[in-house]
A and B are shown apart, each in its own frame.
Chain A
């Protein structure tokens, strides 16, 4: 069965702190994609990153970085030097490629990040 677990329900940090959001997934497929989406207070879902199961290379984009480890089935997300604007709910999601698309997503329950000034 496919499953995505975000064990951290809520995290609160002070601005400029680094914060890591955890994501653990379960799948029997060998080909899959992992995603992170951000949901700010305004409510929309914003795509942040996609990683495929063949590429374990970590990625950095500005203050954001992602650590993908197949050995532990984890895809963690780190925000460096957090800012108040990073306050949002962050969702990790899994897409198995058998459906031929990357929009059929299994979402985790989300982690609410609050960054205090």
Chain B
């Protein structure tokens, strides 16, 4: 399997512009997670989906952030309008439903480094 695939790897945009980050989870995984990593706050969960349905978006910082999962193989995280404080590395991860007999840990993509100037 190719693993979790994120695009783009790097994004530089100007303040006020819309930014869309993309993620393709591992086939067969029914959970998808978006995390953000910053120096100040570390790694924090923004939102996660189960079977394409958003389950917990309590980590989404503001209404400027939105996430969708239109099908089992694709998700987007959108920031509109972007601000310099949104600069961070955004990770997408996927996992199976919990099963003690199986390896159900989350696998992470390589991340998107976002810089808002």
Contact = CB atoms under 8 A, between A and B. Distances in A.
A108 B37 CA distance: 12
B110 interface: yes
A107 interface: yes
B50 A101 contact: yes
Contacts of A37: 108
Contact of B91 (A45, A50, A99, A102): A45
A105 B111 CA distance: 16
A52 B103 contact: no
A42 B31 CA distance: 25
Given A43-B111, A52-B100, A97-B98, A103 B42 contact: no
Interface string A96-112: 01011111110111100
A41 B45 CA distance: 22
A99 B56 CA distance: 10
Contacts, number: 69
A43 B110 contact: yes
B110 A44 contact: yes
A45 B56 contact: no
Interface string B25-52: 0000001010100000011110010100
B56 A102 contact: no
Interface residues on B, range: 20 to 34
Nearest to B48: A104
B60 interface: no
A45 B98 contact: no
Contacts of A33: 105
B106 interface: yes
Interface in A13-57: 33, 35, 37, 42-47, 50, 52
B108 A44 contact: yes
Contact of B105 (A35, A107, A108, A110): A35
Given A109-B42, A110-B43, 4 more contacts: A97-B98, A102-B95, A103-B105, A103-B106
7 contacts: A43-B110, A45-B91, A45-B93, A100-B97, A105-B45, A110-B42, A110-B43
